[in-house]
Structure 1
Amino acid sequence: MPLKAELHCHIEGAATPDLVLKQAQKYGKDVSHFIRDGGYVWHDFTSFLAAYDAASDLFRSEDDYARLADHYLTSLARDGAIYSEIFTSPDHAAKAGLSPQAYTAALGAGIERARAKTGIEARMIVTGVRHHGVESIEAAARFAARCGHPLVTGFGVAGDERHGDVEDYVRAFEIAREAGLGVTIHAGEFAGWESVKAVLDHIRPSRIGHGVRAIENPDLVRRIAEQGVVLECCPGSNIALGVFNGFEDHPFPRLRDAGCKVTLNSDDPPFFATTLKREYDNAAAHFGMSEKALTGLTRTAIEAAFVDRKTRAELLARLNDGRR
């Protein structure tokens, strides 16, 4: 089994239905409208976001968030992952009645707990949400820049790509860059290739969340390859949400063959009936990737990770030695 690394997972979206049911019991809430037969219920992107928010609303205390991070990362390590980056959301913290600082510290405590048990390394990417507006995104960037938490190493923008204009987020990314944070932004998922071009033109990220709709424009694919921008691909998520009909239609192999740096990620794993392990298994089964090729994807992820040089060298040494 190849060692794995993940760059693209929303921590609230990593909450398993079992964990959410326990949280619902804790707070006396009914979840039958979005969890049935042990799985999440949704039918399109809008209803997925509603289910996501409903599950997120059941994480309210610092202990809840520490448990969530520990639970996810421990399961990831069990499946052979040595590194993970999680997207965090100050907006969810505010809804829970927590300060961004308390929320981040709690997730950090969960990360440390999982590392002590399993050896998995993890970092946090503070994330603004497009459909919450520009002011909210800039506030998230300011928090990321000033929070001082050693495990906050990146800033990103997620949410519904159909909202807002990329040019409006330039200042937020300038704030993050000036603070030395790595930057990534979702594009080319529900919006077409134009959204990928827009982020390359205006944001100049080192990584793009998804980015797979770039396949619609061969010149853009060449540009991504030439600039070495890393794509955080999430095939299972894309197929579950209907962006592509199935693995046979997914552009992951074509992007890779075109020289793009690609990685495998789970996005919001239990919502899409996937795990990072399943993404690697599916790449072997549907994209014909060997264990050596899959290990190459892990190497790409570690090389693109928002970590210091020493940590990167240690992770690469573990990968080279095959050490969990």
Structure 2
Amino acid sequence: MAVPPTAAVFVAALRAEGLTVVEVGRWWEHNRNHKGPWGEVHGVMIHHTVTKGTATTVRICRDGHSTLPGPLCHGVIAKDGVIHLVGYGRTNHAGGGDPDVLAAVKAESYDERPPRPNVGNSDGVDGNRHFYGFECENLGDGKDPWPAAQLEAIEKAAAALCRLHRWGPKSVIGHAEWSDDKSDPRGFAMTSMRDRVADRLAVKEPAPPKPPTKPAQPAPAKPVVDLSKLQAAADADPPKRGTPISYYGVKVVEQALVREGLLAPSLADGHYGTATWRAYALWQRRCGFTGKDADGKPGVDSLKKLAAKRGFTITP
């Protein structure tokens, strides 16, 4: 069972194969799904457009014409190898075809070519449901050249979808191999194109480079607050001259109170003054303490709760 992927996966697969893709309008929602289902999908069908000029070709394949509404394919492969996406879902590209061909493509059970089709567009099975379609800019007269860049883009587009669905190259056919009243694509052989797709699929895609591994960094040490010295700092106004702030851990506690929204950042100055007293008293009340237990002087229980929440440790 091959369920069509999302449009994002579809375009990503084309680009991953090295194709240049132009997205035309809101191509991902332009389709004929109101006329019937799209999927299961079983292969990729290649066409020629019988048109000249990329802009004209893209417009016709997107909009269609009076007897055949667009989109007429999923992507237009221009002579320069650029793919122009014009639709996604059911499109008017394959028409009716031979059920024996569909079975052979689905099973990838034929030799060089699928069985010769015995039915045409008017009496065949619905190919628009079961195939991706790429229209290739070419007059289809056997004289209009197929540039190397265009043939390579056909190969890449077919291989991209084969990779996506884990198909082999026998899932890639021409319109003339599907229906007995079609002749496209004319000017190159689908047998040789399948050989090219097979060669591309045989090349294992290089694994993406692994990002350089960074040496493991030791976890930063948590700040340590000495409870007894912090309590002494809360009683001393100002703290003992020459004593480093880190000795008391005042600033660690103030920064925790700032992160709790209880102290203005500008007041986290390492001085356990009036503002810090008030902020810590609010923290104690938030912890459920009242009265003398919420007097703004750090106690072991409230400090443990603040340390657990704000990433520092305490010592007695």
TM-score by length of 2: 0.22
TM-score by length of 1: 0.22
Structure number having the greater strand percentage:
1
**Larger relative contact order (Cα-Cα within 8 Å, sequence gap ≥ 6):** 1
Structure number having the greater helix percentage:
1
